[in-house]
Amino acid sequence: MKEAIRQRALELGFDDCRVTSAHPPASLPHFERWLGSGQHGEMTYLARGLPKRASLERILPGVRSVIVLAASYHPVGPAPEAETLSLTVPAGAQSLRGVVARYAQHRDYHDLLAQPLKALAEHVNRLGGPGTRSLADVDTGPILERDLAQRAGLGFVGKHTNLIRRRAGNWFFLAEILTTLELASDPPEHNRCGQCARCIVACPTGAITAPFQLDARRCISYLTIELRGPIPLELRPAIGNRIFGCDDCLEVCPWNRFARAGRLLGESVRADLSQPELIELLSLDDESFRRRFRDTPLWRAKRHGLRRNVCVALGNSHNLRAIPALQLAAHDLDPVVAEAAQWALEQIQGCPNP
């Protein structure tokens, strides 16, 4: 039965399918200590969902197994090189284009994976027969999916705290199906980082404080996506021209040499999100933002969050051509955007007033 489920998952376009029990992962106490230290920042939903993360029975009564799936978002052909700026280039010569994390250069993965995942859950119910219940999830439910994926043998947790697959590197999404069907568990994957510490060295803000330890409050992905208030002043220069997420710790992983293009997301790439023009993004009104980003991961940052990020990136560009747009943004009704624009102006020309 497990092989029939796996075969159907591959037919639906998933790149891998593994199974583990519904028992809480052994790493749960580490997660609880991490929450207790406050390193999750403003992501209060992580703590709110702790009882369900600790007991999947609270999500699906009678749950016996977790089917864990991977969907690669590695691009077809060579991966595009991100245009990261060098802060040593003379003022006025910097790029006015932003960098978006690779996973977000697609239509929203929640939408892309929902239909095949639902189809697989229905297949599981048919195989299990009357009384079998299954619940599908794509990165929204209170599930310790990374840890369950490692226990299911899908990959191993790297020193950057992300999951790594030996045959796919870092470039993949996870999805799960909780089911009341009893399935044999696959053997767990073991860590294969060895002595490599490239991800720790690569982190621009020092968010990876030690192997397998992440302070999310310093992570550029957190700062540009989850954080709603001002980005801490001391971390702004390290953000460079990243306006949504960061791939630096993922990019340097040597396991990426085995990455292969995914089948489910191959046609969903948004070319306009590869290196978007920063000044254009800063000029978007509510309706323009909605039309352009409603079906992409960037929607999560909201218009004010993206504009805040763009202001920081423009400040880091030291490009005089950004001044008119920033002067307008410095009078924005949102105080977080206005402050970021004012900071950016000061980086470019040292002016205290727009």
Query: Which residues are tagged catalytic?
Result: 139
- Give the list of residues 6+ apart from residue 220 with CB closer than 8 angstroms, or none: 204, 205, 207, 238, 239, 242, 245, 246, 248
Q: Which residues contact 72 (CB under 8 A, 6 or more apart)?
A: 15, 168, 171, 172, 259, 260, 261, 262, 263, 264, 265
Among candidate residues 202, 194, 184, 192, the one with its CA nearest the CA of residue 155? 192
Contact 162, 219 (CB under 8 A): no
Give the C-alpha separation, 276 to 306, whole Å.
Answer: 12
With CA atoms as reference, report the closest residue to 111 among 260, 245, 261, 268. 268
Helix crossing, 286-293 with 302-317: angle to 10°? 90
Answer yes or no: are the C-beta atoms of 296 and 104 closer than 8 Å.
Answer: yes
What residue type is 344 in one-letter code? A
Tokens of 116: 């095949």
CA nearest neighbour of 143 among 220, 66, 250, 69: 66
**Strand pairing report for 242-244 and 99-100:** parallel
